[in-house]
């Protein structure tokens, strides 16, 4: 039974890899990470059948996971070599976190919701991914005690980059964030220069949930 299941799983993984390639992703390390990390292990069990599709899936608190091909484009834009310390804002169920962990030295990930953070932590542990720490907190404040970060990826939208994240990005570091009101964004690649962030390019246009926190949207006012 085990041998029969393997080709099916591999085929589904390749479906996702093909979707990522069609989206324009070419970095071989990113593609290999997608082949190695089973998305079905990082979504709620009841929607696991959707894991091989290039589309978001719903998770608790009205949130959705990021579309896999979009995840791939955002990660590729970071240009990771394997030596970086990365900050991720918005852990979700841990799929992007797991991919980052394969491509970087260590990943700090912040999740707003404790139950989602617990699910992500369990998913990462089940797949023996150890170079990650998931923290419950306000992603807009970053993690100053662990800064500087060589790369930062933000999985929610706000019209500007939160100042603490700018401060915590290492010189020459890269940051990717959806810039917009939530629902119609430019996903932008920034680089940290001597005078602050430099906008390098728009990675893709997309739709994201809003970024909440002290330096983002107020949940009370929403």
| 30 in Cβ contact with 75 (< 8 Å) | yes
The predicted-structure confidence for 116-155, as pLDDT tens digits, reads as follows 999 999 999 999 999 999 999 999 999 999 999 999 999 9
Q: How far is CA 123 from CA 17, 78, 168, 200, in A?
A: 21, 24, 27, 34
| 68 in Cβ contact with 76 (< 8 Å) | no
| 140 in Cβ contact with 159 (< 8 Å) | no
Q: Over 60: is that where the pLDDT of 5 sits?
A: no
Angle between helices 28-36 and 2-22 (to 10 degrees): 150
Q: Over 50: is that where the pLDDT of 2 sits?
A: no
pTM of the model: 0.93
The predicted structure's pLDDT at residue 9? 52
Q: Over 90: is that where the pLDDT of 3 sits?
A: no
The predicted structure's pLDDT at residue 162? 98
The predicted structure's pLDDT at residue 219? 80
**Of 11-25, 69-83, 86-100, minimum mean pLDDT range:** 11-25
Residues in the chain: 222
Give CA torsion, residues 195, 161, 118, 170, to 10 deg: -10
The predicted-structure confidence for 29-54, as pLDDT tens digits, reads as follows 999 999 999 999 999 999 998 999 99
Question: Could you tell me which of 172, 111, 101 has the C-alpha nearest to residue 143?
Answer: 111
**Of 7-16, 56-65, 186-195, minimum mean pLDDT range:** 7-16
Separation between Cα atoms, residue 77 and residue 30, nearest integer Å: 10
Evaluated on CA atoms 147, 150, 153, 159, the torsion sign reads: positive
Residue 67 structure tokens: 């579309």
Higher-confidence residue: 101 or 9?
101
Q: Over 80: is that where the pLDDT of 201 sits?
A: yes
Question: Quick one: what percent of the chain has pLDDT higher than 90?
Answer: 88
The predicted-structure confidence for 164-183, as pLDDT tens digits, reads as follows 999 999 999 999 999 999 88
The predicted structure's pLDDT at residue 220? 60
Going from N- to C-terminal start, the domains of the chain cover 2-206
Q: Over 50: is that where the pLDDT of 218 sits?
A: yes
- CATH architecture under which domain 2-206 falls: 3-Layer(aba) Sandwich (3.40)
Phi, psi torsion values for 110, nearest 5 degrees: -110, 130
Provide the pLDDT confidence category of residue 91 given band limits of 50, 70 and 90.
very high
The predicted structure's pLDDT at residue 166? 98
At 12, is the secondary structure helix, strand, or coil?
A: helix
Question: Could you tell me which of 98, 141, 146 has the C-alpha nearest to residue 119?
Answer: 98
Helix intervals (H) in the chain: 2-22, 28-36, 68-78, 95-103, 114-126, 163-168
Q: Over 80: is that where the pLDDT of 215 sits?
A: yes
């Amino acid at each position: 039974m085990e041998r029969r299941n393997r080709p099916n799983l591999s085929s589904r993984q390749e479906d996702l890899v093909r979707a990522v390639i069609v989206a324009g992703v070419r970095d071989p390390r990113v593609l290999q990470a997608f082949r190695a990390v089973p998305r079905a292990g990082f979504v709620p069990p009841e929607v696991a059948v959707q894991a091989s599709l290039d589309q978001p899936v719903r998770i608790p608190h009205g949130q959705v996971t990021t579309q896999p091909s979009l995840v791939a484009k955002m990660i590729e834009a970071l240009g990771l070599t394997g030596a970086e310390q990365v900050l991720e804002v918005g852990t979700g169920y841990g799929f992007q976190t797991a991919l980052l962990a394969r491509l970087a030295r260590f990943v700090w990930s912040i999740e707003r919701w404790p139950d989602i953070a617990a699910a992500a932590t369990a998913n990462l542990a089940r797949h023996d991914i150890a170079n990650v720490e998931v923290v419950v907190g306000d992603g807009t404040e970053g993690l100053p005690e662990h800064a500087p970060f060589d790369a930062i990826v933000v999985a929610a939208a706000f019209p500007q980059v939160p100042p603490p994240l700018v401060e915590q990005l290492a010189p020459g570091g890269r940051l990717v964030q959806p810039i917009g009101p939530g629902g119609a964004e430019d996903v932008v690649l920034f680089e940290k220069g001597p005078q602050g962030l430099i906008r390098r390019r728009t990675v893709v246009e997309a739709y994201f949930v809003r970024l909440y926190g002290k330096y983002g949207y107020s949940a009370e006012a929403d």
